[in-house]
Amino acid sequence: MNPSVADTERRDLKHEATDGVNGSRELVEGLEEGDEIKVRDAAEKLWNAVVSAANALVLHYTGVVPASHWERRRMLEKLEDTIPEVEKLGLRDRYGARERYLHMMTFYDGIIDEEMLRREVVKAKRYVEDVEKLIELGRGLGV
């Protein structure tokens, strides 16, 4: 793997881990405090963690960083066509679900559904963990 690609991938993974941890903590705090702005901001941080994870995955397997959400979904779809584990994990669909619930409904529309958001924290973390495992799998296979 090209050193600059590996550096970008590591930076994306570090960014996503930091955003995910901060977003999770801030979301719970915001819910407990009844602070809508904090909840919305935290939901966006969780969403950005998912975006960074998807970027790192696509970069690892293709050498390209997607330029838009549309392009990211298309590239995840192509990875599902070529890597059975990506399809099995449903990463494109899960990406779209996190986009809908965290980015659109919570951040943009301001819908604060506490039960849904607590579930989304777990799902966003799981997405990031699954991507990290797939990247490690790829490294083990020399990809």
pLDDT tens-digit series, residues 12-64: 666 666 667 677 889 999 999 999 999 999 999 999 999 999 999 999 999 99
Parent domain of 92: 3-140
d(CA 51, CA 35): 25
Q: What is the pTM of this model?
A: 0.86
d(CA 65, CA 59): 5
Q: What is the DSSP string of 44-110?
A: HHHHHHHHHHHHHHHHHHHS---SSHHHHHHHHHHHHHH-HHHHHHTHHHHHHHHIIIIIIIIIIT-
91 token code pair: 């990463």
Any idea what the CATH number is for the domain that residue 114 is in?
A: 1.20.120
pLDDT tens-digit series, residues 63-115: 999 999 999 999 999 999 999 999 999 999 999 999 999 999 999 999 999 99
Single-letter amino acid, residue 121: V
Q: How many domains does the chain have?
A: 1
